[in-house]
Structure 1
Amino acid sequence: MTGEVTPPADDGRLVGSDRVLAVLKELSRYPDGVGLDELTRAIGSPKPTVHRALGALRRAGLADQDARGHYMLGDEFLRMAFAHHEARPEHVRIRPLLETLAARFGETAHYAVLDGREVVYRAKVDPPTGAVRLTSTIGGRNPAHATAVGKLLLAYRLDTPEAVAEWVGDEPLVRRTPHTRCTAEELHEELRAIRAQGYSVDDQENEVGINCVAVPVYATSPVLPSGALSVSGLTYRTPLRALVDAVEDIRALLGHLGEPR
């Protein structure tokens, strides 16, 4: 039937559209391009089938091939990705605030949303000055339980010990640093405190030497945060106490976007 998506093979092999999408995702890891042999090994599919997938992507403008014969993401893919990103309403409204915060603190400001057990960074602004900057990227992900933005967004979705335990499930939470809270009991207590105070912190829980404060953003819903805005600082340069002391100023900059309606 036209438009039907081919399901994955029972033995885990990639087939049909799943293979094409796997090739597209793998290409994103090679900004300078990748040869067919290396791409075939990474995908784990026969070379002719990977080559056919590349052909389909090239015909759609989603992949390209340079003079060396290496494959990379195509201009049409980049056009669509950036056009979609720039058109997101929350991104358009939040970015000026991120610029203000990055300039004020001399640290990096983010806007992130929750996606399952991870957060996705939708916008990022680095400080205008400063030799040391964070390596986070737009579209990048981090474990929700180890980040200020993630814990804040979880706090408004998991409001009972049972809900937290169900979210944690049987899969262990990754311990990013010695400070990461990795049990359902620890996470529940943290989320309860976040709901009471209205903001969240990351005290070197995702990366040693980096701390962060986050506040909710109500860009698309009047009752549930659509995302979280954060300021992340190097511990030697901006202590966590300085970020916490500025929470009310950050809320004031957000205005109505920082309050439920």
Structure 2
Amino acid sequence: MSESIESGRSTAEEKLVGAERVIAVLTELADHPLGVTLDELAGILRSPKPTVHRALATLRRAGLAELAGRGVYVLGDEYLRLAFRNLDGRPETARIQPLLEQLAAQFGETAHYAVLSGEDIVYRAKMDPPQGAVRLTSVIGGRNPAYRTAVGKALLSSRLFDMDDVIAWFGVFPLEQKTPNTLVTPEALVAELASTRQRGYGIDDQENEIGVNCVAIPIHLDGSPSPSGAVSVSAVTFRCPLERLVEAVPEIRATIAQALGANSLG
């Protein structure tokens, strides 16, 4: 009886490892929109080529991966169809997208909606301006470290109140200094989050990317006292300096209140 139990456990463990391996390959494919070879995947994942090839075969049978030619693998159309169907079906998307369209048209800049995911923020929706020669590289589903984005600081300000909170959340300091303006010490972050709480919106002063600044306002879509996410307006600095974005915050807040209701601002 004990041998049978041990055998069953072994099989379950093998299935779990196999499933994790398939997910790891799928996740890595998402980071290579132009495609990636079997050799490259095996090297990145530090797995034998036959193992990675079996995972790819599983994904291809499900339509989640495709062999684009010359040994290059990409995400399959079925994966994209499922992702966009899920995104379009979310209640928040139906509420947020018209607001982002209005903000992008109103200010001629890019509008985002993002949520907090651990130490990162994830972009759930985005709208570029109808016209404009320069557009931002952010993508729906993309991630950025929360500490160096306006949306991240807008959301963290309601969670992290002192030095102990900040150190517990981020762990090892100093954080990566992406630009000369990036705040990387716990002392700097505690002070910035306090300022964010006081003024009611987050600021990115070229902290995540040189030449791009942003303001972000936390919003409440589910009635919870904690923000469900944040709406931001981002702009390239030569076209719209940070001072102009800050001056526009009352107008941005008014647009949000009109589109989502005054309660959405907390």
Partner residue of 1:12?
none
Q: Secondary structure at the match of 1:231?
A: strand
Does the Cα contact within 8 Å between 1:149 and 1:200 map onto a contact in 2?
A: yes
Aligned letter for 2:151? V
Q: How many residues matched?
A: 254
Does the Cα contact within 8 Å between 1:102 and 1:126 map onto a contact in 2?
A: yes
Q: Secondary structure at the match of 1:37?
A: helix
Residue 199 (structure 1) aligned to one of 192, 198, 201:
201
Deviation at 1:171, TM superposition (A): 4.4
Q: Secondary structure at the match of 1:172?
A: coil
For 1:181 and 1:30, the matched residues in 2 are separated by: 30
* Root-mean-square deviation (Å): 2.1
Aligned letter for 2:164? E
5+ long unaligned stretches in structure 2: 1-7
Tell me which protein shows more helix as a share of its residues: 2
For 1:234 and 1:67, the matched residues in 2 are separated by: 38
For 1:154 and 1:221, the matched residues in 2 are separated by: 18
Partner residue of 1:82?
84
Does the Cα contact within 8 Å between 1:5 and 1:17 map onto a contact in 2?
A: no
Q: Deviations over 1:189-216 (max 9, x none)?
A: 1111111111111111111111111101
- In 2 relative to 1, CA 6–120 (structure 1 residues): closer, same or farther, beyond 3 Å? farther
Partner residue of 2:264?
258
Deviates more, 1:164-173 or 1:176-185: 164-173
For 1:33 and 1:19, the matched residues in 2 are separated by: 19
Deviates more, 1:33-42 or 1:51-60: 33-42
Give the alignment's TM-score, normalised by structure 2.
0.88
For 1:4 and 1:123, the matched residues in 2 are separated by: 38
Does the Cα contact within 8 Å between 2:150 and 2:216 map onto a contact in 1?
A: yes
- In 2 relative to 1, CA 200–34 (structure 1 residues): closer, same or farther, beyond 3 Å? closer
Does the Cα contact within 8 Å between 2:173 and 2:186 map onto a contact in 1?
A: no
For 1:31 and 1:175, the matched residues in 2 are separated by: 27
For 2:107 and 2:176, the matched residues in 1 are separated by: 30
Does the Cα contact within 8 Å between 1:251 and 1:258 map onto a contact in 2?
A: no
Deviation at 1:70, TM superposition (A): 3.3
Partner residue of 1:50?
52
Structure-to-structure mapping, 1:171-250, within 5 angstroms:
171-250=173-252
Aligned letter for 1:96? P
Deviation at 1:220, TM superposition (A): 2.2
Q: Deviations over 1:203-253 (max 9, x none)?
A: 111111111111011112431111000001111111212111111111111
For 2:176 and 2:223, the matched residues in 1 are separated by: 30
Partner residue of 1:11?
none
5+ long unaligned stretches in structure 1: 9-14
For 2:27 and 2:201, the matched residues in 1 are separated by: 35
Partner residue of 2:74?
72
Partner residue of 1:147?
149
Q: Secondary structure at the match of 1:133?
A: coil
Partner residue of 2:29?
27
Q: Secondary structure at the match of 1:188?
A: helix
- In 2 relative to 1, CA 5–106 (structure 1 residues): closer, same or farther, beyond 3 Å? farther
- In 2 relative to 1, CA 162–35 (structure 1 residues): closer, same or farther, beyond 3 Å? closer
